Amino acid sequence: MSLSKINLVVIGHKDHGKSTLIGRLLYDSNSIPQQKLQEVEAELKKAGDEGFRFAFLLDTLEEERRGGLTIDIMQMPLKTERHIYTIIDCPGHREFIKKMLTGASQADAAVLVVSAKEGIEDQTRQHAFLAKTLGIRQLVVAINKMDQVGYEESAFVKISQFLDEVLKSLDFLNTKMVPISALNGDNVFLRSHNMKWYNGLTLIETLDSIVEPSQSYADKPLRGCVQDIYDQHNGGVVVCKIETGVLERGKSVYLSPSGKIRSVEVIEMFGTQLDRAKPGDSVGLVMKEIQGIRRGEVISYPETRARIVKSFIANVILFSSIEMKNGDMCVIRCGTAERKCRMDEILAEIDPIKLTMNAVSPKSLTGGSVAEVKFEPLEPLCIEIYSNFPPLGRFVIEGKRGAIGAGIVLDVEYDGILKV
Amino acid sequence: MNSNSADNLDELEKKSIMIIREAMAQFKNLAALWSTGKDSTATLWLCRKAFFGKIPFPVIHLDTGCKFPEIYEFRERLAKEWNLNLIVAKNKEAIERGVSPENDRFECCTLLKTQALKDLLVKEKFDALILAIRRDEHGIRAKERYFSPRDENFKWNYGDQPAEMWDLYIKPSEDFSHMRVHPILHWTELNVWQYVKREGLPVNPLYFAKDGERYRSLGCKPCTAPINSNASTIDEIVEELETSMTPERAGRAQDKEKAYMMQKLRSLGYM
């Protein structure tokens, strides 16, 4: 049986045991080289510490080990019977949201770690909310540190009921929750002998049974992003990445925003000519008259063409301290396009920890804000609703030294006029 | 090899080439680092594929003067075969002064490699460098991003890295001295060997066993230890890897020397 690849992000509040859980998962599945384990043990002996053994495997920065705090993300592979998981560990501290989002943006599914001892805390809610905002739909909960609450069923029931309410409000319905002890290994890989009252699956079994790889975008209408134009083959080659749908040789494509229609004569991928290019393929296209075709254009079929939007509404997360007010101009990057837009209006702001909507829409947003915002492009922009075309429905807001925010498009408004 | 590894290599390759093409689109003066090892050779091959057969930018070899002779031979041969625009960077001044790993390994790596690279970058004004590092090589490299900026002092600010959302990689900025681009960050050691085999890439003979020993990772001669092995073909190497519990860089002294040496080296601009 062939194994599918899953990117799994582990999220949750600081010190609830995310790194310990991942370390445990890797350890129990024999994914860690012997030498690495010995290295870690030697360091721990020096430091005189026993308890954090597993987390140490991931916390490799000096600062992380000294402070017992994960600062950045790391990706480790884990093979089970069904999947090859790339596990992404995220920092739980509230100041590391930018890094958490980087990790979560690569995820197909998430494990939310909640400590049975400390209970639901700020980043528990915030991470679940951010995961949902970034479009993650598959979530499994690990109720950790059961060893610290005497492995009692009542502790598990109490916390899972509260958590279920929180998750329901985020549209995570019927979430599977597993009582575990990452430190001792109960119910992570191996069934626990300390929780006879629990009849469910272990964490690994739950993940294997529930999580599916991200769906293929091949059945959607064609969307491709022009990456570059190279001088080749007595003319030019348009280099582009197919994001959704299938591109067939010989067919005519529509380019937005220029409005050009061209026939695709040759599709080449890494030295081989193709009849069809599918999502994920980075191809070189030979077409006649490529003058004026630029990086940033979107390729589609004329019948289901990508259109320029008049305005769009998005869930936006800001992660720098830069303030953005109604009316401000910003640069939005989506696909390979980069366009100036105006932040028209903040429609609603959501407190990412309390998960309540602020009664009055603010006039400005700053680092940590999550809000529903209406944008108006000041230059022709093709952008799509995220649930229709995920790769073209997500964007970053560009700052001087990288992204200052990210967004997922909820709705778009088109111009009345169709360009032909 | 498992049954879906062909699909897997295709996916890895596509992502890497897309990243290399993004680097070309976003930066004015690109270059690639090459050690003649399997990872950087595979990365050069990916660059050839990305640009329809010829690498349109310089390829840099950081020469510390104490590389294995096989490395120099391999370098010259492949540079000719692949028509590479090869630049050999050497910190002659430090080598003449007698800087060596016997005195201080950290200083040696810093001066003979990092400094040589810094001097070249300043001279040639490269604004982005393609490197073949992978996450599974070393804990510190696992923290890297696909596009990772270096500040005006060449330093890697690992505590405060910019966000990297989806495949919207960070653009150049005046605040960065250059960008490091890591197209095979998500590949494993096994993936690289599978790819080398599939593509029929040339392999440095040091990787193959001679007299019961071979090198799993190629560093400078004084600081790289061989492993006990009889693997003398790629298939045998792959088989050995699939059952090994020893990490790839076990023979590399710089990873062990002082605690967090690799972290310190990297924060100062090392590979």
pLDDT reading at A66 higher than 80: no
Mean pLDDT of chain A: 87
Q: Which residue of A33, A58, A105 is in closest CB contact with B246?
A: A33
Mean pLDDT over B92-112 rounds to 83
pLDDT reading at A146 higher than 70: yes
The angle subtended at Cα A66 by Cα B262 and Cα A112, nearest 5°, is 100
pLDDT band of residue B3 (cuts 50, 70, 90) is very low
User: Are B165 and A394 inside 8 Å of each other by CB?
Assistant: yes
End-to-end CA distance of chain A: 48
Could you report the per-residue pLDDT of B219-238, keeping only the tens digit for each?
887 788 888 889 999 999 98
Instruction: Report pTM.
Output: 0.88
User: Are A98 and B49 inside 8 Å of each other by CB?
Assistant: no
Provide the pLDDT for residue B177: 92
Q: Domains of chain A (ranges plus CATH)?
A: 4-210 (3.40.50.300), 223-304 (2.40.30.10), 309-414 (2.40.30.10)
Mean pLDDT over A233-261 rounds to 92
The Cα of A194 is separated from the nearest Cα of chain B by a number of Å equal to 32
User: Are A62 and B159 inside 8 Å of each other by CB?
Assistant: no
Contacts of A232 in chain B (CB under 8 A): 52
Compare all CA atoms of chain B with the CA of A338 and give the residue at the minimum distance: B168
Could you report the per-residue pLDDT of B175-195, keeping only the tens digit for each?
999 999 999 998 988 899 999
Cβ-Cβ contacts under 8 Å for A299 (sequence gap 6 or more): A222, A223, A224, A225, A226, A240, A247, A253, A254, A255, A306
Q: Which residue of B24, B142, B245 is in closest CB contact with A228?
A: B24
Contacts of A230 in chain B (CB under 8 A): 51-52
| Cα B32 to Cα B87: distance, rounded to the nearest angstrom | 10
Would you give the distance in Å from CA A1 to the centre of its chain?
Answer: 27
Mean pLDDT over A248-256 rounds to 96
pLDDT band of residue A175 (cuts 50, 70, 90) is very high
Query: What are the two backbone dihedrals, phi and then psi, of residue B45, each rounded to the nearest 5 degrees?
Result: -60, -45
Q: Kindly provide the residue ranges of all beta strands, DSSP E only, lying in A159-280, ordered along the sequence.
A: 176-179, 223-232, 235-244, 247-248, 252-256, 261-263, 266-269, 272-274, 276-277
Compare all CA atoms of chain B with the CA of A56 and give the residue at the minimum distance: B139
Mean pLDDT over A151-176 rounds to 94
Could you report the per-residue pLDDT of A4-38, keeping only the tens digit for each?
888 899 999 988 998 889 888 887 877 776 666 67
Among A44, A60, A238, most B C-beta atoms within 10 A, so best to mutate, is A60
Question: Is B62:B115 a contact under the CB 8 Å cutoff?
Answer: no
Phi-psi region of A402 (alpha: psi -120 to 50; beta: other; left: phi over 0): left
Provide the pLDDT for residue B219: 80
- CATH superfamily of domain region B5-188+258-267: HUPs (3.40.50.620)
Among B168, B227, B266, most A C-beta atoms within 10 A, so best to mutate, is B168
Mean pLDDT of chain B: 87
Q: Which residue has the higher pLDDT, A327 or A133?
A: A327
User: Are A102 and B165 inside 8 Å of each other by CB?
Assistant: yes
Provide the pLDDT for residue B247: 67
User: Are B135 and A74 inside 8 Å of each other by CB?
Assistant: yes
pLDDT reading at A194 higher than 50: yes
Mean pLDDT over A207-229 rounds to 91
- In chain B, which residues fall in CATH 3.40.50.620? 5-188+258-267
β-sheet with B176-181: strand ranges across:
B86-89, B59-62, B30-33, B128-130, B176-181, B147-151
3-state secondary structure of B59: strand
**Residue A65 gets which letter from DSSP?**
H
pLDDT reading at B2 higher than 60: no
Contacts of A58 in chain B (CB under 8 A): 139
Question: Is B58:B85 a contact under the CB 8 Å cutoff?
Answer: yes
Question: Is A100:A11 a contact under the CB 8 Å cutoff?
Answer: yes
pLDDT more than 90, % of chain B: 52
Q: Provide the number of CB pairs (under 8 Å) joining chain A to chain B.
A: 131
Contacts of B165 in chain A (CB under 8 A): 101-102, 105, 394, 396, 403, 406
